[in-house]
Structure 1
Amino acid sequence: MANVDTLRTFYARYVTAHGECKDPRIQQAFAAVERENYLGPGPWQVFTPTGYISTDTADPAVLYQDILFGLRTDRGLNNGEPSLHARCLDAAAISPGETITHIGSGTGYYTALLAHLTGDTGKVAAYEIDPSLSVRASSNLAHLKHVRVVEESGTSAVLPRSDLIYISAGATHPLNSWLEALNDGGRLIFPLTPNRGLGGMLRVTRVGSDTYAAKLICPAMFIECIGARDDATGESLVNAFASNTADAVRSLRLKTLADHSAWFVGAGWWLSTSGPNNSVV
């Protein structure tokens, strides 16, 4: 019978292959970070389309699958799908020593992966609004001295200047506070999600003052990000994603009128199928 370390190694290979990761460090991170240290004692509740089912075992081997485990089943809040996060972490292009802000850290599993990728020369600030989850994250991440957990909303806090802002809850729009906290070359990755159905993981890269490249990485569905939802925008996004043209997005525009290249128009922002400054990318 395979031991947990062997299963974790295979799990790391699987989720990064499924996520089409190009950076080998993503696989190394998933192989190194022990998921059982962040989900609490078993048995665990597994999310399915028809409700939660119990693992009926406390054997950590069961955790090394590409499935969602409940963190707060009363709220439908789960530890996210590993292969989706693998894809997003790869797209984040994290370099050692970078400063990272994680909003919606839950109990800290993906925060730990972010911390592994930036290394102990980097810094990670993890924001979690739910007190019960924040307490668990603080305990789970205490061994990582370059990580600090903040029990505060990442939509209202004054965020540190960051090379990467990684959001683990669904928003209908990018907040100005997120964009303003990005360093030059900084990336914002967040789930842009409609009121119903699938949205997408949006990567926004600051390439200049008020100039941002943008790309929708993959489909996504997340719990709502409190403080970053607008019902009318969420309703409009339903039709945008239903068009199946999300791959055409190339830039985020602010403080300008939308033109013929508009893929989606929000309040004070829009997504364009042309690159930053109307370049073709």
Structure 2
Amino acid sequence: MTTNTATLDALRVTMIEKVQKMGWAKRPEVERVLRDTSRHEFVPEAPLEKAYDPYNAVITHRFSDGSSLSCASAPFVVAMMLDQLQVSPGSRVLEIGAGTGYNASLLAELTGPTGRLTTIDIDPDVTAQASHALHAAGYDDVRVVTGDGAAGVPENAPYDRLIATVSPWDIPNAWWDQLAPGARVVAPLRWRGQARSVAFTYTDGRLVADSIELCGFVYLVGEGEGETSAPITNDQTITVHWDRDQAVNPDALRGVFDQPRVTAWSGVTIAGDEPHDGVWLRLTVTDRRVCRINAPGGTPPEVCDPVEACRAPALVDGDSMAYLASRRRETDDGARWELGAYGHGPAATKLTERLCNEVRAWSVERDQRKPNLTVYRAGTPDTDLSGTIIDKTNSRFVLNYDIIGCLPSDELIGEAVKRKHEVGIVAEDASIENPSNDQEL
């Protein structure tokens, strides 16, 4: 491809400026490799503007059913995860998910000539494409392996850094076995229906997180079933996703949307561009019933109207459910969106109140405080753990807050009331409304 150098330089500069405005490429070495590496060479089918669009993920390979199997992650996500990984020159790095080879090229630049980089993917077409692109760009020292990423690459272990660019539900045993003491691991892990890019340090036989960021990735193939999903409407369109250790019975939820809607509003408002995913993250610590509801675009709002159509936190209790919702409010500062809950079924009132209480508790400090996450190997006794335990196949996730964050919800809600003007809570008290009085977004 013949391209004007000045045009490419301008596109890369603009990409990096936007990525940094989002808070990523904070590490100078990450900014450097993003600036010096040609992303368009790894996604030749994409127009230049799309190749350097900081928010754009380019799908490069699909399953036979049309769902994506491989893609080049959006540059801001690439920068975020490389910031989290903290690669040093000379590092031994394993990448799970070869993709286009672009991320491997960045990792190769970060590790330098004294480092050792291995990337693995289960699909031979993906590894062939990545190998070709890496060779064409001059990265012949990158080891590209076709195989099950859950098994790692033991012959090149131990690794100082492990990064997954596909989303695992668990930490496979092979990854544990292939880490060097003090290694850093970055993986877009899934629990309770959400996905988070989590950065860990491997110390004393456990993985201790120091960074948890919202993300979304293609799932790790070959891992086995950990997350379960099922439709709960007769037309099969609205689905619930939950972990296998949760007591969710989709048959009990069939017809739940035929029950009258109960509505509760929290009094907490957010700006249109303000994140609210911290509510979901908090719920994974405070309520074992939290899972995910998907209502595709085009679902009539009077049937199901979650805060985000394809991914919203929900509480399920037997034949009842409540999910996070929002409505537009006009304030002195302009339009804002109030967070609340819609519920259906016999326990709807309690579930919607519970969701609103958690929203209020979250609003005290919004996303300034996130829970601690430590991952232990399966078999670690309960007596060695403190917090909310989520059992996976090969590991045990333990989530908790520090002493301040561990305040009971009632105390946090009281604090939120005292600080309502600081955190943007509207003047009205939260209320349970009759379904006929629902306000549309």
TM-score clears 0.5 = yes
* Aligned position for 2:213: 218
Alpha-carbon contact 2:166-2:219 (below 8 Å) kept: yes
Mapping 1:177-196, distance limit 5 Å: 177-194=174-191, 196=193
Distance 2:216 2:198 in 1: 12
Aligned residue identity for 2:242: E
The question of 1:64 aligning with 2:43 is answered: no
What is the CA-CA distance between 1:20 and the residue it aligns to? 3.1
Paired residue for 1:199, among 195, 212, 236? 195
Distance 2:227 2:22 in 1: 34
Distance 2:183 2:13 in 1: 31
Distance 1:100 1:161 in 2: 9
Alpha-carbon contact 2:100-2:130 (below 8 Å) kept: yes
The question of 1:139 aligning with 2:265 is answered: no
* Aligned position for 2:12: 8
The question of 1:97 aligning with 2:90 is answered: yes
- What is the root-mean-square deviation of aligned Cα atoms in Å? 2.7
Mapping 1:47-126, distance limit 5 Å: 58=47, 60-66=48-54, 67-73=56-62, 74-76=66-68, 77-126=70-119
3-state SS in 2 of match to 1:155: helix
Paired residue for 1:235, among 226, 242, 253? 242
Paired residue for 1:266, among 377, 383, 392? 392
What is the CA-CA distance between 1:214 and the residue it aligns to? 1.9
Identify if the C-alpha distance between structure 1 residues 222 and 214 changes in structure 2 by more than 3 Å, giving closer, same or farther. same
Alpha-carbon contact 2:160-2:180 (below 8 Å) kept: yes
Aligned residue identity for 1:187: R
What is the CA-CA distance between 1:272 and the residue it aligns to? 3.6
What is the CA-CA distance between 1:152 and the residue it aligns to? 1.4
Aligned residue identity for 2:121: E
Distance 1:243 1:218 in 2: 12
Alpha-carbon contact 1:173-1:266 (below 8 Å) kept: yes
Identify if the C-alpha distance between structure 1 residues 70 and 155 changes in structure 2 by more than 3 Å, giving closer, same or farther. same
3-state SS in 2 of match to 1:25: helix
3-state SS in 2 of match to 1:85: helix
What is the CA-CA distance between 1:260 and the residue it aligns to? 4.2
**Identity across aligned pairs (percent)?**
23
Alpha-carbon contact 1:108-1:137 (below 8 Å) kept: yes
Paired residue for 2:380, among 234, 256, 273? 256
What is the CA-CA distance between 1:132 and the residue it aligns to? 1.3
Distance 1:158 1:130 in 2: 15
3-state SS in 1 of match to 2:12: helix
Distance 2:52 2:92 in 1: 29
Identify if the C-alpha distance between structure 1 residues 273 and 201 changes in structure 2 by more than 3 Å, giving closer, same or farther. same
How high is the TM-score relative to the length of structure 2?
0.53
Identify if the C-alpha distance between structure 1 residues 223 and 232 changes in structure 2 by more than 3 Å, giving closer, same or farther. closer
* Aligned position for 1:18: 22
* Aligned position for 2:423: none
Alpha-carbon contact 2:95-2:164 (below 8 Å) kept: yes
Alpha-carbon contact 1:156-1:227 (below 8 Å) kept: no
What is the CA-CA distance between 1:63 and the residue it aligns to? 1.6
What is the CA-CA distance between 1:88 and the residue it aligns to? 1.2
Tell me, which stretches of 5 or more residues in structure 2 are unaligned? 229-240, 247-277, 285-369, 403-441
Distance 1:237 1:115 in 2: 38
What is the CA-CA distance between 1:199 and the residue it aligns to? 1.2
Tell me, which stretches of 5 or more residues in structure 1 are unaligned? 45-57, 276-281
* Aligned position for 2:164: 167
Distance 1:127 1:260 in 2: 35
What is the CA-CA distance between 1:82 and the residue it aligns to? 1.3
What do residues 230-254 of structure 1 show as CA deviations (whole Å, max 9, x unaligned)? 3357723898x97422721242223
Aligned residue identity for 1:163: D
What is the CA-CA distance between 1:101 and the residue it aligns to? 0.5
Identify if the C-alpha distance between structure 1 residues 184 and 157 changes in structure 2 by more than 3 Å, giving closer, same or farther. closer
Runs of 4+ in 1 over 4 A off after TM superposition: none
Distance 2:281 2:397 in 1: 17
Identify if the C-alpha distance between structure 1 residues 228 and 257 changes in structure 2 by more than 3 Å, giving closer, same or farther. same
What is the CA-CA distance between 1:118 and the residue it aligns to? 1.0
Alpha-carbon contact 1:170-1:222 (below 8 Å) kept: yes
Identify if the C-alpha distance between structure 1 residues 8 and 232 changes in structure 2 by more than 3 Å, giving closer, same or farther. closer
